[in-house]
Every structure is written in C-alpha cells, then in structure tokens.
Amino acid sequence: MNVYLEVDGKPVPASELTWAHFSPCGCQCGVLVAQSGNFLVPDEESAWKEFYESAAIRKREKARGYTFKLMHHPDAVIALGGKCPHTPQWGVPDESAPEGFAWGKRSKAKKLHLIPFTGDTKRSNFATAPGGYDDRITAKCGESQWSFEVDSWMTSEFLKCEACVTAKEAS
C-alpha cells in the first residue's frame, strides 16, 4: 500500500513516518507508526483514536494540551526517552495511586475510585473485601462495594472520581 502523507508541505511515504505524541509540558511521551502494512494512521484524529480507545480520555487529554505531530522515523525517536524533567511530570497532575491504594471501578461503572489495595494491579483483576459479600471496600470518597476492578491496563481507559482525587491531595 503506497500512501503519501504531507510533512512540511511535502508528500512523504507514510511507511517512513511516525506520529509523535507530546505532553502538555512539551516532552515527547509516545510514538505511533503512520503505516505498517495495511495499518494506516492517515491523520491526527486517527492517531488520537489509535492511542486512546476511550472518547472521554481523548477529550480530557486534548483539553490538557496533548498533541500529535507527524515526523520522519529517525526524528520521532530522538526525544523519546521516557523521561520528563518538569514538575508536575508530563505537565499533568500526578494521579497515581499512593502506596497501599489502587484506582478501581465497579464492574459496569465508568469512574475510577481510590481504594485500599496492597496487591499488584498488573497481575490482579479484582480487589474484593476480605470479609466476603457482606463486607465492603470503601473508596476515599465514600463509595463502597464488595469488589472493584483494579486491572491497571483496563483502568487506564477510565476517568478518575474527582472526590477521590481531591481526597488524595488532601491526605
């Protein structure tokens, strides 16, 4: 598939290009190849959709100032070190869960709550109350449920409860 995309006003084969993703602070935080076989990311909006499955997350990150820029492959990896010297890092508030906590959600819900959890969210899918069905896990905001989904890959696609974020900052 021979497709050309425009870089600096000139047509360039898509197979030679990468969508570089930039954080609000200006640091590069990711890459996405523009073409790989039949896989093609022809424009910025498509890059957003490939990068973020959730429309709510796309909306939030656009509002925060994240951007994509089409670059030649070699240029797109120069600044890609996974490091950011800014405060806050990546130009966005630190919403990572503090020690002993994790972001989790009820099974059909769309919002994440900050709940007490000591396991590994890369390995565990669920946090369940120690006392079983009659027991409850209570989030920082007061929301309670016997079980929360905590899988870190899944939770990256959901927005965080503002009351829990505020409670985290206050503690």
For residues 75-114, which are near Zn ion according to CB under 5 A?
84, 86, 113
Q: Look-up: residue for tokens 């930039």?
A: 22
What number of chain residues touch Zn ion (CB under 5 A)? 11
CB of 74 to Zn ion, least distance (A): 21
Nearer to Zn ion, 5 or 112 (CB): 112
Q: Any contact of residue 167 with Zn ion (CB under 5 A)?
A: no
Q: How far apart are CA 80 and CA 84, in angstroms?
A: 10
Instruction: List the structure tokens of 13.
Output: 């084969």
**Which among 170, 158, 164, 156 has a CA at the least distance from the CA of 101?**
164
CB of 23 to Zn ion, least distance (A): 6
For residues 2-31, which are near Zn ion according to CB under 5 A?
25, 27
Is 98:168 a contact under the CB 8 Å cutoff?
yes
Q: How far apart are CA 113 and CA 91, in angstroms?
A: 22
Point out which residues bind Zn ion (CB under 5 A). 25, 27, 84, 86, 113, 139, 141, 143, 161, 163-164
